[in-house]
Amino acid sequence: MYRKFAAAVVLLVASLLLFSATASVTKAQQPTKFGKLLGRVPSGANTLVMLDVDGIRNSLFARNTPADQKPGRKHTNRYVFGAKELDRAVLASDIDLTEFCPVWETALVETNTPPVLADLAQRQGGRMEQLGSMQAIWLPSNGYVVPFDSQLIGVRFPADRQFVAQWANHPPLEGTNTLSPYLKDAARYPENAGTQIIMALDLEHAVDPGAVRQNLETTNAIKGKDVNLDQLAQVMASIRGVTLGILVTTNISGSLRIDFNEDVRIMEDFAKSLILEKLSSFGATVDEFYQWDVRVTENTLFLSGTLSIDGLRRIMMIIDPPTPNLGADGEESGEAATARKTLEYFDALQTLINDVKKPDPKRVVGTGEVAIWMDRYARKIDQLPILGVDEQLVDFAAMVAQSLRDMGVQYRGVGIEASKKSNNPRAQYYYGYRGHGGWNRWGGGYAGGYWGITGAEKALPASTIAKRVGRANVSGNRSDLWRQIDDDMAAARRELTKRYQIEF
């Protein structure tokens, strides 16, 4: 499993979790703006995200963007247009590269509004615990909140009590941190380049040349190219890491850099198409990447260009842990508070649904990319804060998330079925979809119908038939799914507007 993943991750992982600084940067200056936060990052992290939330909030772009163009800002644009109580944030994690899922995640935030712990625990549905000399809040989302001081708050997932107790009671590192050399270099960019968002992934020694060489056999970007595949595999396997930097001024611009130990100029003629193919195969692209410019230096590939608000949110979706809202919710209580929280939840749900529908089918390398985004957005829907939200809307959102996961399974099944049918030329194919019950059927749960095409018997290889039939089925099912969800969201909007007498 690892070998197959590593082969594709080499350039694709590049964007899955990181973001690097814009073009020219020196590495002499030590990070001071984020030094206090970096000194609390646990050892063993291979990913790092740094966000100058105050810098983004005060940029001309953010200040000139009307509120109605910042959809879902409290939950889905939290580090860009929301989170008024935060000034800076550092997110670090240890990603298992065999499955590309986090072993652990931490968020360290510098707040300008010191939270009252008892109130925070109540708002999050958690509980106060004493961990040695420190108090902490256990979260029902399987995490802990640790107040290192009144303005430095740490969050840890999962809720490993022993680890959190040691982390909370360990003295801070003064003027240094436990980051790897590659992540330390990435951490200097905000000081040197003024970049407000940095995302970096350390891939030193993570990739096997043999696995890369095998993966290149089916890589479209190099088909027909006069290139030595053994040499190319050796170069690609020398990857050190990936960094993506995002600068917010009057607009949003980004630069993705991929660093290698070997000379990468062998890739100059096909670098952009190769990068995009590998990123796309793991669902790590946004539409704007296809308009970005590529630049190749001796040991680094750069991809740079502008981003939209939607593109930035899509990128942030990759690394946004369910960090609790540290600010107070306001003065409302009772039905007024429920109405406001329900409206914010509905706004965020609508934004996420709109985002997951967006991948351009012409640019999708395979059904696996769509499956990844389906899973990712389902997870984000599950992570939306539900305390005080209308229960019917929460149940409906859970059913939407499950429908996205079901559709993701279908997209993955296309490749699996194609492989299974490769030795059976007279196979029948059926890809069923368990539809969702919808807003108007919330009381009875999901009980949708099934769609599918059967009886595919052609004089073509069975694997080819399976792919074609499978894609046709899931594409049709996907259209039915969006039509159903759009109808149900409209029904929910009407019902909630009537129920709470505010416009949803």
> Is it the case that residue 96 has pLDDT exceeding 50?
yes
Q: How far apart are CA 160 and CA 144, in angstroms?
A: 8
Pair 52, 192 in one domain: yes
Chain center to CA of 443:
32
Of all helices (H) and strands (E), which one includes residue 194? none
| Residues with Cβ within 8 Å of residue 247, at least 6 apart in sequence | 22, 193, 194, 195, 196, 253, 254
More confident residue, 306 or 314: 306
One-letter amino acid identity for 98? T
Q: What is the pLDDT of residue 20?
A: 31
Q: Which helix (H) or strand (E) is 480 found in, with range? A: helix 462-500
Residue 147 lies in a domain: no
Residues 238 and 348 in one domain: no
Query: For residue range 433-481, what is the model confidence (pLDDT) as tens digits?
Result: 344 555 554 433 333 322 222 333 333 343 333 344 344 445 556 778 8
102 domain residue, yes or no: no
Distance (Å, rounded) from C-alpha 258 to C-alpha 149? 36
Does the pLDDT of residue 56 top 90, yes or no?
no
N-terminal to C-terminal alpha carbon distance within the chain:
46
| pLDDT for 71 | 54
State the Cα–Cα distance between residues 151 and 165, nearest whole angstrom.
Answer: 19
- Write the pLDDT tens digit of every residue in 210-243: 999 998 988 889 988 889 999 999 999 999 999 9
Mean pLDDT of the chain: 76
In a domain, 192, yes or no: yes
pTM of the entire predicted model? 0.73
Structure tokens at 387: 């305390």
Instruction: Answer whether residue 421 shows pLDDT above 70.
Output: no
Instruction: Give the residue from 253, 278, 312 where a domain finishes.
Output: 312
Strands in 227-323 per DSSP E = 239-248, 252-260, 293-296, 300-307
Asked if residue 344 and residue 303 are part of one domain, the reply reads no
Continuous H helices in 132-205: 161-169, 181-187, 189-193
Taking alpha carbons only, the member of 386, 307, 387 closest to residue 349 is 386
Residue 275 pLDDT: 87
| CA 141/CA 385 separation, integer angstroms | 10
- Give pLDDT, residue 9: 31
* Whether the Cβ atoms of residue 200 and residue 258 lie closer than 8 Å to each other: no
Do residues 378 and 420 share a domain?
Answer: yes
For 149-185, the pLDDT digits (tens) are 989 999 999 999 999 999 999 888 877 888 999 999 9
Q: Specify the pLDDT at position 336.
A: 87
The pair of structure tokens assigned to 372 is: 């990844």
In terms of domains, do 288 and 361 share one?
A: no
- Same-domain pairing of 298 and 366: no
> What does the pLDDT read at residue 152?
93
Res 441: pLDDT: 47
Alpha helices in 386-456 (DSSP H): 391-420
Asked if residues 155 and 321 have their Cβ atoms less than 8 Å apart, the reply is yes
Specify whether 177 is located in the same domain as 281: yes
Cα–Cα distance between 290 and 275 in angstroms, integer? 10
Is 126 a member of any domain?
A: no
Q: Evaluate if residue 424 carries a pLDDT over 70.
A: no
* pLDDT at residue 136 tops 70: yes
User: In three state form, how does the secondary structure of 218-242 look?
Assistant: CCHHHCCCCCCHHHHHHHHCCEEEE
Q: Is 436 helix (H, G, I), strand (E, B) or coil?
A: coil
Q: Please check whether residues 303 and 371 belong to one and the same domain.
A: no
Q: So what's the pLDDT on residue 191? A: 78
Residue 218 lies in a domain: yes
302 and 367 in a single domain? The answer is no
**Has residue 145 been placed in a domain?**
no
Of the three residues 280, 312, 344, the one that is the final residue of a domain is 312
Tell me: do 78 and 192 sit in the same domain.
yes
Q: How many domains does the chain have?
A: 2
User: In sequence order, what E strands does 311-437 have?
Assistant: none
Quote the percentage of the chain above a pLDDT of 90. Answer: 37
Closest to 10 in 3D by CA, of 228, 264, 318, 268? 264
Tokens 């089918």 map to which residue?
Answer: 361
Residue 169: C-alpha distances to residues 40, 146, 181, 366, 427 (Å): 11, 10, 26, 47, 62
Among 312, 343, 377, the domain boundary falls at 312
Residues 6+ apart with CB under 8 A from 414: 367, 431, 466, 467, 470, 471, 474
Is residue 278 one of the residues assigned to a domain? yes
Provide the domain limits for residue 62: 2-82+172-312
For tokens 């030193």, name the residue.
204
| CA-wise closest residue to 316 among 16, 58, 9, 46 | 16
Contact, 155 vs 144, CB < 8 A?
yes
Q: Which of 140-144, 155-159, 337-341, 422-426 has the lowest mean pLDDT?
A: 422-426
- Judge whether 391 lies within some domain: yes
Cα–Cα distance measured from residue 200 to residue 320, given in angstroms and rounded to the nearest whole number: 14
- Asked if pLDDT for residue 13 goes beyond 70, the answer is no
Measuring CA to CA, which residue among 63, 12, 77 is closest to residue 310? 77
Residues 248 and 383 in one domain: no
Note whether 220 and 251 are same-domain residues. yes
pLDDT at 69 over 60: yes
421 DSSP 8-state letter: G
Highest mean pLDDT out of 13-17, 377-381, 422-426: 377-381
Long-range residue pairs from 146-150, CB within 8 A, at least 24 positions apart, any chain: 147/115, 147/117, 148/40, 148/172, 150/114
Cβ atoms of 465 and 423 within 8 Å: the answer is: no
Highest mean pLDDT among 192-196, 202-206, 278-282: 202-206
**Between 20 and 83, the higher pLDDT residue:** 83
pLDDT of 474 reads 53
